[in-house]
Structure 1
Amino acid sequence: MSADLVVLGLGYVGLPLARQAMRSGLSVLGFDVDAAVANALNAGRSHVDDLSDDDVADMIRSGFRATTDEAEISVAATAVICVPTPLSAEGGPDLTAVRAAAHTIARNLRPGMLVVLESTTYPGTTDEVVRPILERSGLVAGDGFFLAFSPERIDPGNERFGTHNTPKVVGGDTPESTRRAAAFYGRFIDTVVRAKGTREAETAKLLENTYRHINIALVNEMARFCHELDIDLWDVIHAAATKPFGFQAFYPGPGVGGHCIPIDPNYLSHNVRAKLGYPFRFVELAQEINATMPAYVASRAQNILNNAGLAMKGAFILLLGVTYKPNIADQRESPATPLARRLTALGAQVTYHDPHVNRWTASGADIPRSTDLEGAVVAADLVILVQNHREYDADRLAALAKRFFDTRGVTTAATTHRL
């Protein structure tokens, strides 16, 4: 038995990649160290937002199989690493899972295999970390096997751009590795962009997210002084966005979430400090601004209550939407979590409503969930729209609420408090 592809790490990145490859006719094997994940997938159960149980069941019927048996990796022509790289205590990526995946492949590497790292990391990881581990097999990169980096660009919940039509950047450690990686991805992705090498491909991903991180921080800081100056920043952005060139609209919010924006730019900043000895000041300032937004929202909430003659202590506050982006269940790095912690620390009684989240914790304690949306809105002393899911009619909810704080700029009533 042989396979065109084995995907190591069957999460938000690996599973959609496996599905798209299969839809284009490739034979795909999934590998994960978590037996519960593998067993659930083999039973047709999905654990990521962009794939339903029916999608996984279709994959299984088409020949996909998840395994925890690393020996099966040797049957694949291409191995793609899609494992997590969380932020380490030092501020860089924790490469524990990447190293483990590389060792797993090295034990099962065969001549001619293409190995691609997709996990987000700092420039130089593919060549300095992954390559030496793989070469312990006795095979040499660029000759005995081929090595490349291709940054993941998964945007959970995006209904316009998915794996097949989001351009794929690839950079190999040799020109032949780049060619082979481009040919592989070209079998199931519409557009493949060849970078000069692995470091350029690694840095491209960090530049994408750093660009967003810094521009979000810009409008978040503007939100603070525009509020003090009685300027409607949302109207300002709308007006500025009418310029057909030289401007891209970014919007303020209660903080940034997900794996990419609050984490990836730190990899670049950490790498610059570690290797060059000086700070990447734009990134560090952006991180400072964005990280303080939940506390700023809590402070604004306290002022809203104070102006109504109410104390924060004992006030009933309802948070609407606790995921990091709308219309999905993903809570990774959601700003709702530090916001709830801050409100609770100030003495508020916090509850939440989210159509995608049945259980939510902050500071290790469960936050009570409201199932009656309109009833909870009417009863709360203050409602804070943290995430605007499509299920919410924000203007209607604002009309029902005693006080409504819109952190997403979607309401129209003059009586609504907006970020």
Structure 2
Amino acid sequence: MIKEGIKTFRKVLEVGHLPSVITCNCLLNGLLRLNFIDQCWLVYEEMGRVGIRPNTYTFNILTNVLCKDGNADKVNEFLERTEEGFDPDLVTYNTLISSYCRKRRLDDAFYLYRIMYRRGVMPDLVSYTVLMSCICKERRVRDAHQLFHSMVHQGIEPDIVSYNTLISGYCKEGRMQESKYLMHGMIGIRISPDSFTCRVLVEGYAKQGSLDSALNLVVELRRFRVSVSSDIYDFLMVSLCHEDRPFAAKILLERISQEGYLPKPNIYNELIHSLCRCNNHSADATIHSFCRYNNVIDALLLKADMVCKRIKVDPVAYKALIRSSCRIGQVREAESLMEEMLESDVLPDPQICRALIQCYCKQSGIDKAEFLLSFFAREFQIFDNESYNFLVRTYTEWRYG
């Protein structure tokens, strides 16, 4: 279609007719959208040759062309050449400022910002937000906040994007108190935090090792009727599991599941890993033994829930469950899990072999241990020295002990 448009444009010129500047602008805009930068300049030169006078919209399109072509430096030359009879407007300046900010050329962007003022073109919300974003990327969030105050002083009302820009900047610098203060400020003027606001705050607290503050924030946001996305809940539960707090993650899962939340498969797997990991870290005292047992039972219940919901259990979860079942002496449960794992085409490893062999030996099941050792060697080519040594020691103790 664009090629046809260029052909028509040239045919019209050949027969001596002059298309309107609006028609030319439509053609230029189409070429820009398709990234036909060279063709844009050819059309512009044709306009000048036949005497079609460009308007402000034409120059804004061409400014975009220059910026898209990565020639922000040529923009000033272009504006100087065309300045007679053309006053750059707010769109022109915002396009240039955005281009400089994308290239992290903050000094040039602020130079244009000051030029705007001198020429009587007042910056708008877009101008300020683009500049604040660039300043935050330079880790100068306090300067960005001062610019924010200048914007408000000029009578420009901030929006969710300008608030999020500052909140994100403070979170990246670990200044959570300022971030939360800004969040309360936006709520105070009836701007509701969105999923981005929530995510950067939650991740900010998590990076500081303050997951409890992140959880409290979610509770507070829900009180303000802010929708919390499933991605944020996923992040919180995985983070709790990584901190070996599976019960907190499990309670959170139970609560939000009642509201229709559907966890991703990896959430269940993370919970199983964490429950089994906590089991491994426990001591030998009676109370801790009880806790160890309950950890494994909770992990097995989670696995059963996954199977009911047709969520795939990953290999690491199966291995963790088998080893943990063996540690608490639940060898039949471990056998059942291994059968289920093999039916799911998940292959065992030496650690599973070792856990089962040791469990059989401790429960006087030497015959089963021998059979399993042969089975692992024959079917999976697993020859585990520790398993063989443990079986030999058990034979010795049984015969001479």
Structure with more of its chain in helix, by fraction: 2
Check whether TM > 0.5.
no
User: Larger Rg: 1 or 2?
Assistant: 2
Shorter chain as denominator, the TM-score bin is under 0.3
TM-score normalised by length of structure 2: 0.24
TM-score normalised by length of structure 1: 0.23
